[in-house]
Amino acid sequence: MSEPLGVALIGCGTVGGGVAHVLLAHAERVAQRAARPIALRRVVVRDPSKPRDPLIPRDIITTDISSALHDSSVQVVVELIGGTTVAKKVVLDALAAGKHVVTANKALLADSGSEVFEAARKAERTVCFEAAVAGGVPVIRALGESLAANQVTAIQAILNGTSNFILTAMAERGLSYSSALAEAQKLGYAEADPTLDVDGSDAAHKLAILAQISFGVAAKPHEIARQGIDTIDAMDIRFANELGYTIKLLAEAWTSEEARNAERGMRNKNNGQEPSSVPSSALRAPRSVALHVAPVLLRHTDLLAQVRGAYNAVLVYGDVVGETLYQGPGAGRMPTASSVVADLIDLGVGRAQRTFAAARLWSREGRGFTVEPPERVRSRFYLRLLVADKPGVLADITRILADEEISISSLVQHEAQEDGSGAPVPLVIVTHYAATGRFRKALEKINRLTTTSAPAVFFSMGD
């Protein structure tokens, strides 16, 4: 067997602890798969007095990052401390010291991918990041290697387990948003400060990484239109259900409207059962890609509508293969460690170095795609208003929509309270296809009406 591959683990918390455990408890299996032993040489933490996995030899635990980065018996640095300041320095210093890097840090890659990957190319070293998107689900490898014969035409994904857990609890058990969030926090699915999960930022970071691999675009945060789940009320979940839909927080990338319609049409025709492929005419459409993270109403029968709890799932449409689905645990100690160790094995074998060099991620060359401005994206919309129960209100709203050339597919005004309280009544409108920009303009006007008693709530429809 070849020389061991020496590893320094920077960070040994939830994920780092899992990685150390797999490397030490399954050393033989890992060595077989990597065709060489993978030796844990250093474990760097902030507080060395904290209890750690008993398999970790005490004498390799240290607080000294620099000595780990410059240890000549270390060939790979695994960054698992998180954040974008110390972590960025660790990654850049490791590359400069001639080490390969494995990281699970989506925020770092979304923010500084260009810099990190340029530094890796300059140092002729490799950066692996399977765990940065969808935790234990091998979607980076699927996009970068297994689907390499394809041009990806669209991605639809559930990339934030916390949001999916909350939406599932609201839909299946009728919980309010705040009770579902409290439960997610109690079970350890949500952080004490859940903002990045529920406002769509975390999913946007991951979508930016998927968009880079699939389309070669280095999307800036403002180019990814983002709407979280924190505006979803239990009544929206109920109304969507009555219409035959489930609300999911989706991260989506569509290459062109023609491709989008072709895929959706084919999916509906096939009832989601058969693989489909996009006609080549759709692929000749302009090479732009629309990126957004938002709650979307999916038909109950859609594959992604059936992804429950804290799970992640990624649907990828490729021009050769058609539709493929990847699903599994998107976070957690062992699922994420599974992806990190797979990266180490790939480095051990020498595969990762070759695919990394060929992929030219975040390079200036790009692949000819541009990011489409969010306001140009067309969709059908679910619009829920709380309106005064008096004559003329409906006419005002439909006129505003008509002025923006938005036509209505269905409209349901819910019954007024019988107590004569004059409380506002919910009005649910589903539109035909409309450009997001024009829809938003109509919303601004509707929100100014004195007869609407709360800001309009809206979501796009997945069909």
Q: Which stretch binds ligand NAP (CB under 6 A): 11-19, 247-255, 350-358, 391-399?
A: 11-19
Query: How far is C-alpha 132 from the geometric centre of its chain's CA atoms?
Result: 10
Q: Active site residue: 88, 99, 106, 206, which one? A: 206
- Which sign does the torsion angle of CA 56, 59, 62, 67 carry? negative
| Cα 9 to Cα 19: distance, rounded to the nearest angstrom | 9
Min separation Cβ 204 and ligand NAP, Å: 14
**Binder among 26, 29, 50, 354 for ligand NAP (CB under 6 A):** 50
Residue 354: HSE in the Cβ half-sphere, 13 Å Cα cutoff: 6
Please answer whether residues 302 and 272 qualify as being in contact, where contact means their C-beta atoms are separated by less than 8 angstroms: yes
Question: Which residue number, 46 or 390, has a Cβ lying nearer to ligand NAP?
Answer: 46
Residue 329 found at the interface with ligand NAP (CB under 6 A): no
| Least distance (Å) between residue 339 CB and ligand NAP | 8
Q: Which helix (H) or strand (E) holds 345?
A: helix 333-349
Could you say whether residue 332 binds ligand NAP (CB under 6 A)? yes
Residue 138 in the binding site for ligand NAP (CB under 6 A): no
Phi-psi region of 422 (alpha: psi -120 to 50; beta: other; left: phi over 0): left
Of the residues 24, 86, 182, 321, which one makes contact with ligand NAP according to CB under 6 A:
86
Interface residue with ligand NAP, options 175, 207, 307, 331 (CB under 6 A): 331
Taking CB atoms, the residue at the shortest distance from ligand NAP is 13
Taking CB under 6 A as the rule, does residue 82 contact ligand NAP? Answer: yes
Residue 5 CB, shortest distance to ligand NAP, in Å, is 21
Our finding on whether 105 is near ligand NAP (CB under 6 A) is yes
In the bound state with ligand NAP, the residue whose beta carbon lies nearer, of 80 and 442, is 80
Q: Please state, in angstroms and rounded to a whole number, the distance separating the CA atoms of residues 178 and 185.
A: 11
Element (H, E) at 10: strand 5-10
Q: How many Å apart are CA 18 and CA 335, to the nearest integer?
A: 9
Instruction: Provide the minimum distance between the beta carbon of 216 and ligand NAP in the complex, in angstroms, as a whole number.
Output: 24
Q: Which tokens go with 16?
A: 């780092």
Q: Which stretch binds ligand NAP (CB under 6 A): 99-107, 257-265, 296-304, 316-324?
A: 99-107
Return the axis-axis angle of helices 161-173 and 177-186, rounded to nearest 10°: 130
Is 311:327 a contact under the CB 8 Å cutoff? yes
- Applying CB under 6 A, which of residues 4, 14, 98, 308 lies at the interface with ligand NAP? 14
With contact defined as beta carbons under 8 Å apart, do 246 and 305 qualify? yes
Which of residues 7, 15, 68, 298 is near ligand NAP by CB under 6 A? 15
Give the total of residues touching ligand NAP (CB under 6 A): 24
Residue number, 216 or 332, with CB nearest to ligand NAP: 332
Q: Given candidates 20, 30, 34, 44, which one binds ligand NAP under the rule CB under 6 A?
A: 44
Q: Is 259 in the site for ligand NAP (CB under 6 A)?
A: no
Q: Which of residues 57-76 bind ligand NAP (CB under 6 A)?
A: 65
Does residue number 334 form part of the binding site for ligand NAP (CB under 6 A)?
Answer: no
- Beta carbon of residue 104, minimum distance to ligand NAP (angstroms, whole number): 4
If the CB atoms of residues 71 and 463 are measured against ligand NAP, the closer one turns out to be 71
Q: Write the CB contacts of 457 (distance below 8 Å, at least 6 apart in sequence).
A: 231, 232, 233, 236, 383, 384, 385
Give the count of beta carbons closer than 10 Å to the beta carbon of residue 315: 22
Q: Which strand (E) or helix (H) includes residue 312?
A: strand 311-318
Does the annotation mark 186 as catalytic? no
Q: Which of 6, 113, 135, 194 binds ligand NAP (CB under 6 A)?
A: 135
131 lies in the site for ligand NAP, by CB under 6 A: yes
Q: How far is the CB of 135 from ligand NAP (least distance, A)?
A: 5
Could you say which of 94, 95, 104, 250 contacts ligand NAP (CB under 6 A)?
A: 104
| Best CA proximity match to 86, nearest among 48, 112, 54 | 112
| N- to C-terminal Cα separation, the chain | 54
80 binds ligand NAP (CB under 6 A): yes
- In this chain, which of 81, 169, 211, 313 binds ligand NAP, going by CB under 6 A? 81
Helix ranges (H only) for 124-251 are: 139-141, 161-173, 177-186, 195-198, 201-215, 234-243
The CA distances from residue 461 to 232, 369, 379, 409, 432, in Å, are 14, 25, 7, 12, 10
Interface with ligand NAP by CB under 6 A: which range of 79-87, 163-171, 217-225, 290-298? 79-87
The strand pairing partners of 324, in sequence order, are 316
Pair of tokens at residue 442: 């109509």
Residue from the set 11, 228, 424, 462 that interacts with ligand NAP by CB under 6 A: 11
Residues that bind ligand NAP (CB under 6 A): 11-16, 44-47, 50, 65, 80-82, 86, 104-106, 131, 135, 331-332, 336
Active site (catalytic) residues:
206
